[in-house]
């Protein structure tokens, strides 16, 4: 299995001091920064665009930026986020008119492609695409808003996907997003996840370094 990654979601950060917030969380041990991009169409919320990604790069943020597109159509945003400094770009297959072409578009811009599956979307949706991905993101809440509770049934889905990835001997990350906190990150890790998005569980604490350190110990 790959190195375990903690990816704080800036959806829960203080946007009035975003550059400072991201610097503090990275200095506290965060491996990546996770972007939740919502368009108030594909999901019922409106968040951030590529300008924020570019602003963080210009501010000096050097860690990988993991962009989760909850938007439709995805293809124009792929180009804009790639040019803004994204590292990983993930999208929902139902948001693309041609999933294979969108994956290739992400790679053509020098980024790493990922597909996202909501809790009610079966793993067979990955058929024909898994070998062409760098990561699969399993949602453990229904996307739209931060602070939701983890859906326990997703644990079995993580186990099944881990078996699929290992069975094919693929170098594909398994990311989990939604309701991740100190109380459940160990179970999620043991199920087979290697990349963990956490928003309010990190940015809601006084010491980002302390909570990230505790999370890292849980997934060792």
Candidates 14, 36, 66, 134; catalytic one: 36
Quick check: 54 pLDDT over 80? yes
SS3 sequence, 145-207? CCCCCCCCCHHHHHHHHHHHHHHCCCCCEEEEECCCCCCCHHHHHHHCCCEEEECHHHHCCCC
pLDDT value of residue 112: 98
Q: What is the CATH number of the domain that holds 107?
A: 3.20.20.70
Candidates 66, 75, 134, 177; catalytic one: 177
In whole angstroms, what is the distance from residue 192 CA to residue 188 CA?
Answer: 7
Is residue 44 very low, low, confident or very high in pLDDT (cuts 50, 70, 90)? confident
pLDDT digits (tens, 9 = 90+) for 76-115: 999 999 999 999 999 999 999 999 999 999 999 999 999 9
pLDDT value of residue 25: 98
pLDDT value of residue 144: 76
pLDDT value of residue 107: 98
Number of compact structural domains in the chain: 1
Domain span holding position 123:
5-219
pLDDT digits (tens, 9 = 90+) for 13-35: 999 999 999 999 999 999 999 99
Catalytic (active site) residue 36: yes
Catalytic (active site) residue 194: no
């Amino acid at each position: 299995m790959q190195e375990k990654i903690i990816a704080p979601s800036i959806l829960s950060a203080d946007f009035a001091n975003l550059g400072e917030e991201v610097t503090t969380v990275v200095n506290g041990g965060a491996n990546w920064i996770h972007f939740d991009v919502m368009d108030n169409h594909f999901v019922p919320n409106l968040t951030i665009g590529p300008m924020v990604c570019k602003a963080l790069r210009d501010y000096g943020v050097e860690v990988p930026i993991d962009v989760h597109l909850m938007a439709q159509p995805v293809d124009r945003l792929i180009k804009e986020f790639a040019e803004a400094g994204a590292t990983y770009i993930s999208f929902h297959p139902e948001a693309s008119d041609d999933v294979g072409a969108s994956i290739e578009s992400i790679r053509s811009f020098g980024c790493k492609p990922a597909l996202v599956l909501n809790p009610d979307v079966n793993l067979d949706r990955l058929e024909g695409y898994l070998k062409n991905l760098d990561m699969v993101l399993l949602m453990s809440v229904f996307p739209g808003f931060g602070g939701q509770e983890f859906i326990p049934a997703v644990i079995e889905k993580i186990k099944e996907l881990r078996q699929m990835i290992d069975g094919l001997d693929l170098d594909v990350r398994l990311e989990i997003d939604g309701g991740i906190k100190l109380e459940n990150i160990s179970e999620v890790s043991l199920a087979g996840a290697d990349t963990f998005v956490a928003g309010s569980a990190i940015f809601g604490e006084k010491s980002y370094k302390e909570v990230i350190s505790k999370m890292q110990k849980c997934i060792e």
